[in-house]
Amino acid sequence: MKANVRLWRDVQRQRRAFSTTPRRLDTYAFIGLGQMGFQMARNLQSKLSPSDTVRLFDINKDAMEKLAQELLASKAGGAAVQLAETAADAAKDADTTITCLPEPHHVKAAYATILSSGLSPSPTSSDKKPLFIDCSTIDPSSSRQVGFSVESAGGVFVDAPMSGGVVGASAGTLTFMLGAPASLLPVLEPTLLKMGRRVLHCGAPGAGLSAKLANNYLLAINNIATAEAMNLGVKWGLDPKVLSGVINVSTGKCWPSEVNNPVPGVVDTAPAGRDYKGGFGIGLMKKDLKLAIIAAREAGARLELADRAREVYESAEGEEGCRGRDFSVVYRYLGGEE
């Protein structure tokens, strides 16, 4: 494995040496190569110029080496790749650092490491400030705290949580909800569009996360309500396809009823048809709901349904037949007919 990684570096060095298009060399760091980050880093690397460099880091060495292997085997070309030893090594001298980590404490820990040795000025950005793009779904106030530390150290920090799931990350079709000064859009969009197909500018730093959490709060409630309504209709003797046909041309229509219907057989491509495997994990839904509750409390916004919804996801996740599955498995938790 080590030999392959070295070989990959050599191949990249050679490619760079023979590059005929003189241009500025940009260095990117990508930190957090999990389900989403792995695919995003792969797309970013393949769409960058051979004169650029992508440094990869994850505390899970296997994820780094697996990605290096995949890039080595790929014929897609793209930027040179380096495997970093720490998050600080990855971000050192990088023009742009992208982070994609699970929860607020992971983001805080990664940025504490990065900032512990100070930030070096970006070699290529016009104002010399290194740019940090956090794509993790965390609460806006933790994000602003991290942003404040980065800015105090001389960097620029923006939030760009995404939707589209692992399928969108793999296909490069993610939607990013961006919280950043408008003046940075010309710099941020070209980078984000290498990993997605839409950038929605939501406002100042933190606003991307607020938009993401408001959306996912609605999704959490719609999903339970759809499972309840479908279960109710089936118990009343309605054919689930007939019922979803009515809902989807009526006022109850929503993404869980139309695309991710929880009753097996209603929508062929929905996770319900494959024992609720794949899709958006119930654990992630529970996490986003928790973050929305925290952020709502901080803003003094009253949420009547949040605590009950959280209990539903928590107890569903505690059941063997539901754990680790798509969040539409709430239908099974309710005792729905499959």
Interface pick for ligand NAD out of 8, 26, 30, 37 (rule CB under 6 A): 37
Task: Candidates 32-40, 66-74, 76-84, 266-274: pick the segment binding ligand NAD (CB under 6 A).
Answer: 32-40
CA distance 41 to 29: 9
Are the beta carbons of 110 and 32 closer than 8 angstroms? Answer: yes
CB of 250 to ligand NAD, least distance (A): 29
- Give the residue, chosen from 27, 29, 30, 33, that forms a contact with ligand NAD under the rule CB under 6 A: 33
- In the region spanning residues 202 to 221, those forming contacts with ligand NAD, defined by CB under 6 A, are none
Out of 136, 143, 191, 261, the residue judged to bind ligand NAD by CB under 6 A: 136
Q: How far is the CB of 179 from ligand NAD (least distance, A)?
A: 15
Total residue count of the chain as it appears in this document: 338
Quick one: 269 exposed, middle or buried, by C-beta within 10 A (0-12, 13-18, 19+)?
A: exposed
Q: Which of 256, 234, 254, 255 is nearest to 243 (CA)?
A: 234
Residue 201 CB coordination number (10 Å): 19
Query: Quick one: CA torsion of 277, 223, 213, 45, rounded to 10 degrees?
Result: 30
Q: Which residues contact 165 (CB under 8 A, 6 or more apart)?
A: 279, 280
**Cβ 32 to ligand NAD, closest distance in Å?**
4
The string of DSSP codes covering 49-112 is -TTSEEEEE-S-HHHHHHHHHHHHH-----SEEEE-SSHHHHHTT-SEEEE--SSHHHHHHHHH
What is d(CA 135, CA 37) in angstroms, rounded to the nearest whole number? Answer: 9
Active-site residue flag, 92: no
141-157 burial by CB neighbour count: b if 16+ within 10 A, else e? ebbbebbeebeebebbb
Name which of residues 265 to 324 contact ligand NAD (CB under 6 A): 280, 284
Segment lying near ligand NAD (by CB under 6 A), choices 29-37, 142-150, 245-253, 298-306: 29-37
Instruction: State how far the alpha carbon of 78 is from the alpha carbons of 45, 50, 194, in Å.
Output: 5, 5, 12
By CB under 6 A, residue 32 contacts ligand NAD: yes
| Sole window of 26-34, 75-83, 269-277, 314-322 interacting with ligand NAD (rule: CB under 6 A) | 26-34
- What minimum distance in Å lies between the beta carbon of 36 and ligand NAD? 3
Which of 47, 92, 212, 286 is catalytic? The answer is 212
Rounded Cα distance between 82 and 68, Å, is 9
Site string for ligand NAD, 55-74 (x = CB under 6 A): --xxxx--x-----------
Amino acid at residue number 248: N
Beta bridge partners of 196: 174
Binding test (CB under 6 A) with ligand NAD, winner from 11, 166, 238, 294: 166
Which x/- pattern, by CB under 6 A, does the window 70-109 give for ligand NAD?
-----------------x------------xxx---x--x
| Chain position whose Cβ is nearest to ligand NAD | 34
Based on CB atoms, which residue is closest to ligand NAD, 29 or 322?
A: 29
Query: Binding to ligand NAD by residue 50, rule CB under 6 A?
Result: no
Does the CA dihedral 77-80-85-89 come out positive or negative? negative
Judged by CB under 6 A, does residue 162 bind ligand NAD?
yes
Residue from 12, 29, 30, 36 touching ligand NAD (CB under 6 A): that is: 36
Q: Could you say which of 110, 285, 293, 329 contacts ligand NAD (CB under 6 A)?
A: 110
Interface with ligand NAD: number of residues (CB under 6 A): 27
Residues serving a catalytic function are 212
Query: Which positions lie near ligand NAD, rule CB under 6 A?
Result: 31-37, 57-60, 63, 87, 100-102, 106, 109-110, 136-137, 162-163, 165-166, 280, 284
